[in-house]
Amino acid sequence: MKLRFLGHSGFQITDGGHEVVIDPFMSQNPATSVEASEVAPSHILLSHAHGDHYGDTPAIAERTGAAVVGAVEIANYVSQRGMQGVGMNIGGGFAFPFGQVRFTPAWHSSSFPDGTYGGMPTGIVLEMGGKRIYHAGDTALFSDMRLIGRKGLDLAMLPIGDFFTMGPDDALEAVKLLAPKAVIPIHYGTFDPIRQDGGAFKARVESETDARCLVLEPGDDTEL
Ligand code: NI
Ligand code: MN
């Protein structure tokens, strides 16, 4: 499985002939040079409807015909705008051709840029290419993260930006609850209120837990 960090909370994940994208936010992202035209997924997985996650979904879906997978309110919204929506909900999983997707709780809110309610925000557990990874979306720390990690996680993508989500202190607690093999910090450095030191977070993760921490710049890729 190959991951490319698109910036903010966005990832392109490829394995064999499959490509999926999570939370693509590039064209309005001042901190990434990756362009929306560089991805061609069959499915776009959305953690919630906020503009910094929904982002380039319409342009990518229109160009590629990608299905948009998220909370049922997200699927309804995109379906009304000519996209193909797949509406799921928290706790539910489904085996797609590329792998298994399961939506988890997230403590946050969810509305589209035009104010339309986006349903409950979510995290995403994706099993693909023999790996199990958790994208936390935007969330506060919560103790049920222990349940999300109970089957073992090869990777957790966790927000560390603070202000809108958990910051580095709580994200470090999240790593202890989830016990993943690897961590990628996300949702920081994009805007002024969420500036954080990724290297300092990595040092704390690797001294206080067994996880290794990968600090990726937008556009970087890594093999899992
Ligand atoms: Ni958000
Ligand atoms: Mn966000």
Q: For the chain, 224 residues long, give each residue's pLDDT as a single digit of tens.
A: 999 999 999 999 999 899 999 999 999 999 999 999 999 999 999 999 999 999 999 999 999 999 999 999 999 999 999 999 999 999 999 999 999 999 999 999 999 999 999 999 999 999 999 999 999 999 999 999 999 999 999 999 999 999 999 999 999 999 999 999 999 999 999 999 999 999 999 999 999 999 999 999 999 999 99
- Taking the centre of ligand 2 as the mean of its atom positions, its distance from the CA of residue 210, in whole angstroms, is 27
- Taking the centre of ligand 1 as the mean of its atom positions, its distance from the CA of residue 181, in whole angstroms, is 26
Q: Tell me whether residue 224 is in a domain.
A: no
State how far the Cα of 82 lies from the Cα of 142, in Å rounded to an integer: 36
- Taking the centre of ligand 2 as the mean of its atom positions, its distance from the CA of residue 54, in whole angstroms, is 9
Q: Tell me whether residue 50 is in a domain.
A: yes
Q: Tell me whether residue 223 is in a domain.
A: no
- Taking the centre of ligand 2 as the mean of its atom positions, its distance from the CA of residue 138, in whole angstroms, is 6
Its domain, for residue 141, covers: 2-216
- Taking the centre of ligand 1 as the mean of its atom positions, its distance from the CA of residue 5, in whole angstroms, is 18
Please report, as a single letter, which amino acid is at residue 194: I
pTM given for the model:
0.98
- How is residue 213 written in tokens? 């921490």
State how far the Cα of 168 lies from the Cα of 213, in Å rounded to an integer: 13
CA 221 to chain centre: 15
CATH of the domain at 174: 3.60.15.10
Q: Give the chain's domain count.
A: 1
- Taking the centre of ligand 1 as the mean of its atom positions, its distance from the CA of residue 9, in whole angstroms, is 10
Q: Tell me whether residue 25 is in a domain.
A: yes
Closest ligand to the CA of 191: 2
